[in-house]
Amino acid sequence: MMQVLDITPKRWQDSLKQAITDPQELLDRLSLPNELLDQAKAASQLFPLRVPNEFLNRMEAGNPNDPLLKQILPIGDEFIQTPGFTEDPLNESEARPTPGVVHKYQDRALLILSGACAINCRYCFRRHFPYSENQLSGEHWQTALAYLKGHKELREVIFSGGDPLVTPDGRFSNMVADLEEIPHLERLRIHTRLPVVIPSRVTEQFIDTLQHSRFDSVVVLHINHANEIDDSLRHAVTNLKKSGATILNQAVLLKGVNDCADEQIKLSRALFSAGILPYYLFLFDPVAGASHFDIPIEQGKKIFAQMQKSLPGYLVPRLAKEISGKTSKTLLISS
Ligand code: SF4
């Protein structure tokens, strides 16, 4: 009898290592035309290609317009220089009091836990972020803790990145324990795409860390299209809920990916069936190299108005835009 080899990675770290980084392999795996290769190779020099197999398996083979593929395929449009699109669209460099800490809003500070991601999203507003200067290891971690201790107005710490869940479980739980020593902190928020693209990242140890933490925890996932939600993600979210964390989603309106009301309505419904509440729908941040994803604000408002008509209030995310220098996100209303 022929033996069938099980090539499914057993650990999330294996999935990370096995992520596809070679444009030729991506095209071959999805039976895509080779004319895409030169552009993909060139644009991956600007920002590397990276996509885990678990995410790739949700794409439709042979479809160059697949909404998941469009989020990760390097293309020639990334070389277009558009006025107003910059390397640091949210001016985060001006809100970094110490390496790895971004403090823009009064009662919460963001920690850049990792410079790595499991997936490289072409539209990422941090695609040019100087991660090498902002590693929170050793000395920088102690400086960050001192900063948080000294700012008694802070109530919440947000783990961000890169993807903060690239951090191994042991180190992650030590970091949470260090933060728990700071009495004025009450909440821990984790912004991550890793459980979406590699659902096995939701390990027992990670759940245990959140479950036994004194913090109220919030996990904000990043899902842009209903096709990103499959059984493995639903299963991971069911497990994650055992930790007691509130699970939310933030999405970005992206041209050619999810820029119509039907897709957004489908996304909200699929999120809710998976146990995730829609939280924010962001208008695109003007990052250099990704202007081809941008849509006009008025179009975003029209999509939102249709969502409001079709969905109950609890399934309508907040339509928002981050404007650099503002003390909170700017909420937009439909016209
Ligand atoms: S930080 Fe988030 S949006 Fe940016 S590349 Fe990583 S996973 Fe994608």
User: Hey, which of 92, 126, 160 would you mutate to test ligand 1's pocket, going by the most ligand atoms within 8 Å of its Cβ?
Assistant: 126
Give the residue among 332, 52, 300, 311 at the shortest CA–CA distance from 199.
52
Q: Cα–Cα distance between 321 and 297 in angstroms, integer?
A: 9
Distance (angstroms) between ligand 1 centre and the Cα of 161 equals 8
Strands annotated E in the chain: 101-105, 108-114, 156-161, 187-192, 216-222, 246-252, 277-282, 318-321, 330-331
Residues 74 and 192 in one domain: no
- Burial (CB < 10 A; 0-12, 13-18, 19+), residue 8, is exposed
pLDDT tens track for 53-75: 999 999 999 999 999 999 999 99
Q: What is the pTM of this model?
A: 0.93
Which is nearest to 225 in space by CA: 330, 123, 298? 123
- Ligand 1 atom closest to Cα of residue 126: 4
Phi-psi region of 289 (alpha: psi -120 to 50; beta: other; left: phi over 0): left
How many CB atoms sit inside 10 A of residue 37's CB? 15
Q: Given 31, 55, 79, which residue is the final one in a domain?
A: 79
| 34 and 180 within one domain | no
Residue 160 Cα to ligand 1 middle (Å): 10
Assess whether 68 and 99 both reside in one domain. no
Q: Tell me the CATH number at 145.
A: 3.20.20.70
Q: Which atom of ligand 1 lies at the shortest distance from residue 125's CA?
A: 4
Assess whether pLDDT exceeds 90 at residue 5.
Answer: no
Question: Quick check: is 1 in a domain?
Answer: no
Given pLDDT bands bounded at 50, 70 and 90, which one contains residue 328? low
**pLDDT tens digits, residue range 82-126?**
999 888 877 777 778 898 999 988 899 999 998 899 999 999 988
**103 and 233 belong to one structural domain:** yes
Position 202 pLDDT exceeds 80: yes
Residue 2 lies in a domain: no
Q: Let me know whether 53 and 179 are in one domain.
A: no
Q: Are residues 34 and 139 in the same domain?
A: no
What is the CA(55)–ligand 1 centre distance, in A? Answer: 14
Kindly report, residue by residue over 171-193, the tens digit of the pLDDT.
999 999 999 999 999 999 999 99
Q: ∠ CA 74-160-214 to the nearest 5 degrees?
A: 150
Per residue in 216-245, pLDDT (tens digit) is 999 999 999 999 999 999 999 999 999 999
Q: Are residues 65 and 108 in the same domain?
A: no
Number of domains in the chain: 2
For residue range 128-182, list pLDDT tens digits in order. 877 777 778 778 999 999 999 999 999 999 999 889 999 999 999 999 999 999 9
CA 191–ligand 1 middle distance (angstroms): 10
Per the structure, the complete domain to which residue 252 belongs is given by 92-331
Q: Which atom of ligand 1 is nearest to the CA of 162?
A: 1
Residue 87 lies in a domain: no
**Candidate of 222, 253, 280, 322 to mutate for ligand 1, largest count of ligand atoms within 8 Å of Cβ:** 222
Q: Is residue 241 part of a domain?
A: yes
Which atom of ligand 1 lies closest to the CA of 161? Answer: 1
Q: Are residues 224 and 274 in the same domain?
A: yes
Do 68 and 189 have their domain in common?
no
CA 135 and chain centroid, separation: 18
Question: pLDDT band for position 330 (50/70/90)?
Answer: confident
Q: How confident is the model at residue 7 (pLDDT cuts 50, 70, 90)?
A: very low
Last residue of a domain, one of 24, 51, 79: 79
Alpha-carbon distance of 289 to 81, in angstroms, equals 7
Distinct helix (H) and strand (E) counts, the chain: 12, 9
Please report the DSSP string for 190-205 in residue order. EEESHHHH-GGGS-HH
What pLDDT shows up at residue 4? 43
Nearest to 157 by CA among 172, 170, 169, 168: 172
DSSP-assigned letters across all residues of 28-93: HHTT--GGGHHHHHHHHHHS---B-HHHHTTSPTT-TT-TTHHHH---GGGG---TT-BSSTT-GG
4 in a domain, yes or no?
no
- Residues 157 and 188 grouped into a single domain: yes
Best residue among 47, 51, 125, 193 to mutate for probing ligand 1's pocket (most ligand atoms within 8 Å of CB) is 193
Residue 147 Cα to ligand 1 middle (Å) = 26
